[in-house]
């Protein structure tokens, strides 16, 4: 039985995350999926079809953590490498994207790997579904290379403000995209605490180079709990 969506020219890519070896089936070429119709729909481009360096860095960070029972929300998940890593380590991830095909591939990759069912939800940041806010609160909200256009700052800032509790950690991996600074400054100006770490990726890199920033945020007025105080432990 073929678990993957039909009509795609696919390739398998082996990804090593710490001691976890993942075989990710994905479309062979993201560029081949570009259509004028999709672009006309809010300038959508099929970035979901690649495994990006920031996704690898974020997955590596998750693999270093104790995740059993951790409720994770991944925004702009694409092929959902971080969510798959979390699922493999006992977390309870919800992978979200505005491309249904991306989520279909993510679920199929999780099932084929024997990780069980990966929870997914189709989410447009401009018009998030009510169901997203009916979910139980998340311990961790993550995103890999999701603030790549300036317009995303307002969309993501509003979404994170609604979704994050005082105890929620927000972890965003960014390959130093120029427009990511708009989101960072927006959150800082709203009183979010912010910590930045640098990670250097060996092997697969893109035009941004090997350095990926890992941004850690907590919403304003965090609860008094050392386990959640920003800066109490290193991201390294």
Backbone angles phi, psi at 131, to 5 degrees: -60, -30
Query: E strand or H helix at 213, and its extent?
Result: strand 211-218
pLDDT attached to residue 236: 37
User: Domain extents for the chain?
Assistant: 10-218
| pLDDT value of position 63 | 97
C-alpha span between 23 and 7 (Å, rounded): 20
Q: Which tokens in the block code for residue 82?
A: 């971080």
Q: Which residue has the tokens 């860095």?
A: 57
CA distance 52 to 94: 19
Q: Is the pLDDT of residue 231 over 50?
A: no
Of residues 49, 47, 46, the one with CA closest to residue 34: 46
The confidence score (pLDDT) of residue 205 equals: 67
CA–CA separation, 142 vs 169, rounded Å?
Answer: 8
CB 113 within 8 A of CB 88: yes
Tens digits of per-residue pLDDT, 142-172?
999 999 899 999 999 999 999 999 999 999 9
Closest among 216, 175, 219 to 197, alpha carbons compared: 216
Mean pLDDT of the chain: 90
Of 31-40, 95-104, 207-216, the poorest mean pLDDT is in 31-40
Tens of pLDDT, residues 200-220:
887 666 667 789 999 999 998
Sign of the dihedral defined by the CA atoms of residues 49, 66, 92, 227, in that order: negative
Residue 229 has a pLDDT of 42
- Whether domain 10-218 has CATH 3.60.130.10: the reply is no
Distance of CA 126 to the CA centre of its chain: 17
What band does 45 get if pLDDT is binned at 50, 70 and 90? confident
**pLDDT value at residue 33:** 85
H or E stretch covering 138: none
Query: Which of 28-32, 104-108, 223-227 is least confident?
Result: 223-227
């Amino acid at each position: 039985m073929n678990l993957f969506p039909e009509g795609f020219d696919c390739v398998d890519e082996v990804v090593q995350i710490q001691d976890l070896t993942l075989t990710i089936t994905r479309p062979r070429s993201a560029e081949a999926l570009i259509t004028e119709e999709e672009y006309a729909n809010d300038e959508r481009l099929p970035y979901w079809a690649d495994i990006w360096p920031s996704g690898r860095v974020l997955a590596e960070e998750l693999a270093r953590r104790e995740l059993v029972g951790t409720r994770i929300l991944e925004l702009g998940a694409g092929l959902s490498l971080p969510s798959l890593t979390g699922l493999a380590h006992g977390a309870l991830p919800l992978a979200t994207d505005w491309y249904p095909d991306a989520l279909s591939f993510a679920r199929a990759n999780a099932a084929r790997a024997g990780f069980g069912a990966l929870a997914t939800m189709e989410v447009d940041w401009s018009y998030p579904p009510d169901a997203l806010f009916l979910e139980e609160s998340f311990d961790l909200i993550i995103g890999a290379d999701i603030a790549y256009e300036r317009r995303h700052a307002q969309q993501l800032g509003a979404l994170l403000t609604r979704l994050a509790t005082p105890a929620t950690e927000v972890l965003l991996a960014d390959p130093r995209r120029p427009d990511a600074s708009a989101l960072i400054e927006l959150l800082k100006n709203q009183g979010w605490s912010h910590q930045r770490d640098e990670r250097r990726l060996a092997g697969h890199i893109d035009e941004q180079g090997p350095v990926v920033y890992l941004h850690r945020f907590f919403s304003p007025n965090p609860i008094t709990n050392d386990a959640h105080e920003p800066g109490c432990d290193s991201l390294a």
